[in-house]
Amino acid sequence: MSGRPNWELYFHTIAAAVALRGDCIRSQVGAVLVSPDNRIVSTGYNGSPPGGPSCHRGECPRCLSDAPSGSSYDGCVEIHAEANALLYANRADCIGATLYVTREPCDACSKMIRAAGIKTVRWPFQPAGRLTCNAGVTKVEDNESAPLTEEEERALSHREAYELARGTPARRYRTSGIR
């Protein structure tokens, strides 16, 4: 790998590393909250509250069920990565910030993100064109067919770092507005 990763890849790689601390046996998720001047404000991963029931110890009813991925989180004992990142940030640091996450936020986290004043949410691997309702929050659209910008070309040369940190193939992503 040559050169220096762009900010997008840098923060996504950090989010992937943070996700490794996740307590959930079904999915480890990481989040990095970044100020408009590219400073890390806080990080979060999905995990059990201190002293609470643990997914790793088999105490999460949702993980023990056959609930499909992405379905209702009723019964889940974990605090989501996005919520943890917001809990450890000052409100003033959230205004206008960008949240990098390793997967699309659920509806409950999307509401918290919007209420916290986060301006942009970015995650890789989003199906093309899938934008959800979060007026005022910019999400990311994976767009395989669009021509690459010069910065995206440079980011592709750093793709191996993200793949290594996350264990999955990285794909390019670009910002899109919310309908």
**Residue burial 66-95, b: 16+ Cβ < 10 Å; e: rest:** ebeeeeeeeebbbbbbbbbbbeebeeebbe
Q: What is the pLDDT of residue 171?
A: 45
Q: Is position 82 annotated as part of the catalytic site?
A: yes
Q: What is the pLDDT of residue 130?
A: 38
* Cα 150 → chain centroid: 24
Q: What is the pLDDT of residue 59?
A: 81
The residue ranges of the chain whose pLDDT is under 50 are 127-136, 141-148, 152-162, 164, 168-179
Q: What is the pLDDT of residue 58?
A: 81
Three-state SS at 53: coil
Kindly report the number of other CB atoms within 10 A of residue 123's CB atom. Answer: 20
- Give me the phi and psi of 133, to 5 degrees please: -80, 100
Tell me if 105 sits within 8 A of 82, measured CB to CB.
yes
One-letter amino acid at 65 equals S
Q: Which one from 82, 104, 151, 160 is the annotated catalytic residue?
A: 82
Q: What is the pLDDT of residue 172?
A: 43
Q: What is the pLDDT of residue 148?
A: 47
Place of tokens 């790793």: 56
- Lookup: tokens for 91: 């409100």
DSSP H helices in the chain: 7-19, 61-64, 81-87, 91-94, 107-116, 150-156, 159-166
What is the C-alpha to C-alpha distance for residues 156 and 116, in angstroms, rounded to an integer?
A: 32
